[in-house]
Amino acid sequence: MNLFPHLENNDQNKILLFAHDKFIREGFQKVSMDEIASELSMSKKTIYKYFDSKDILISSVCDLRIDAIKSKIEQILELDSDCISKFELIGEMHANFTKDCSQNFIKDLKIHAPELRIKFEEFGEEYTAKVFGKLLDQGKKENLIDPKYPNSIVVEIFNASMMCSKNPDFLITNGLSMKETFEFVTDILFTGLLSSEGRKRYKQNSKKISQQIEYS
């Protein structure tokens, strides 16, 4: 899947796309501009013509990802589909954007570019609230989502749960990728943690507890 089909084929975008793929796979801290120039068979002078420094190149890569995610989400929201289909398409999009995202890249953001990490986190929280709010409202109108759950709580739960996918220590310790973590979180959120037997027992126990509280 081409994540950035809107980009024109020119030297600036060639550098940007190459740096994106390399940083995402390997991290950026140990990658030098000399290395990028050598692998692109391009002079450093040409690279510095478009990107004054490595820091600007790293920031441009992050902006590229954010802008592309925004664009693809907006396209999905405009589709004439039910909310479940749209949630699935957003999940597929997230999987495509994170499948090659290495723990080195996440760790480098945390240690060497905290301002960019904060930018990603703020974007994620803002867009989750916006997108989930729209889809939850749509799902409630379609009778596909239970209206008793406030959107604000669902969004907060999702954002809090997704923090683990941005924590390199958590991913390394548990042998998980960002893609896998996202899939587990969304599956639990939408289908639940309990089995059908577990849900029956939960309802029975909840009813008993409610009765005990009522008569205590």
Indicate whether 211 pLDDT > 70.
Answer: no
Picking from 38, 111, 105, the residue whose alpha carbon sits closest to that of residue 65 is: 105
Q: What is the pLDDT of residues 4-26, one digit of tens each?
A: 877 899 999 999 999 999 999 99
Average pLDDT over residues 135-160: 93
Both tokens assigned to 197: 């037997």
Q: Within 13 Å, how many C-alpha atoms sit on residue 19's CB side?
A: 32
Distance, CA of 14 to CA of 40 (rounded, Å): 9
Instruction: Name residue, tokens 């995402």.
Output: 24
Domain positions in the chain are 11-215
Given a cut of 80, whether residue 92 has pLDDT beyond it is yes
Mean pLDDT of 20-47: 96
Specify whether the CB–CB gap between 178 and 185 falls below 8 A.
no
Query: Which residue shows structure tokens 């692998």?
Result: 39
Q: How many angstroms separate the CA atoms of 151 and 161, rounded?
A: 15
Write down the residue that tokens 């989400």 correspond to: 73
Residue 210: what pLDDT? 57
Q: Which of 50-54, 74-78, 212-216 has the lowest mean pLDDT?
A: 212-216
Under CATH, which number does the domain 11-215 receive? Answer: 1.10.357.10
Q: Is the pTM of this model over 0.85?
A: no
**Banded pLDDT at 178 (limits 50, 70, 90):** confident
Whether 45 and 123 have beta carbons less than 8 Å apart is answered as no
Q: Which of 87-91, 116-120, 171-175 has the lowest mean pLDDT?
A: 171-175
**What 8-state DSSP symbol labels residue 40?**
H
* Among 87, 90, 15, 103, CA closest to 51: 15
DSSP state of 78: T
